[in-house]
Structure 1
Amino acid sequence: MNLSIDHKNPLPLHIQAENLLRNMIKDPQYAGGKFLPNEVQLAKQLAISRSTLRHALNKLVYEGLLTRKKGVGTKVAEAAISSKSKNWLSFTQEMTARGIVIKNFELHVTWVLPDETIANFFEISPNKKVLKLERLRGKAEGPFVYFISYFHPRVGLTGEEDFKRPLYDILEKDYMTVATLSKEEISAKSADKFISGKLELESGSPILLRKRFVFDQGERPIEYNLGYYRADSFVYTVESRRE
Structure 2
Amino acid sequence: MEQVAKLIKIDRSSPVPLYFQFAQQLQQLIENGVLPPGTRLSNEIALAEQFGLSRPTMRQAMRHLVDKGLLTRKRGVGTQVVTHRVRRQTELSSLFDDLRRDGRRPGTRVLSLESRPAGTEVAAALRIDEGDAVLVIERLRFADGQPLALLRNHLPAGRIDPTAEELADTGLYRLLRRSGTDLVTAEQTIGARRATSAEAALLEESRGATLLTMTRVAHDGAGTPVEYGTHVYRASRYSFEMTIAAR
1:218 to 222, 228, 240: 222
Indicate the percent of aligned positions where both proteins have the same amino acid. 25
Query: TM-score scaled to structure 1, two decimals?
Result: 0.82
Distance of 2:10 and 2:230 partners within structure 1: 54
What is the CA–CA distance in structure 2 between the aligned matches of 1:58 and 1:45, rounded to whole Å?
Answer: 18
Superposed CA RMSD in Å reads: 3.0
Shift of 1:127: 3.3
Render the CA deviation track for 1:84-109: whole Å, top value 9, x for unaligned.
124x2222121112111111133431
Is 2:123 the partner of 1:112? no
Q: Deviations over 1:18-58 (max 9, x none)?
A: 56634653576731032212222233334444344445434
TM-score relative to the length of structure 2:
0.81
Alignment of 1:5-154 (within 5 A): 14=18, 17-18=22-23, 21-22=26-27, 24-25=29-30, 30-68=35-73, 73-86=78-91, 88-154=92-158
Larger radius of gyration: 1
The count of residues paired between Structure 1 and Structure 2 equals 240
- Post-superposition shift, 1:219? 0.5
Three-state SS of the structure 1 residue aligned to 2:177 is helix
Shift in CA distance, 74/218, structure 1 to aligned 2, threshold 3 Å: same
Contact 2:10 2:22 in 1 (8 A): no
Contact kept, 8 Å, 1:131 with 1:159, in 2: the verdict is: no
- Gap change, CA 1:22 and 1:209, over 3 Å in 2: closer
- Give the partner amino acid of 1:43: A
Provide structure 1 residue ranges, at least 5 long, that are not aligned to the other structure: none
What secondary structure is seen at the aligned counterpart in 1 of 2:48?
helix
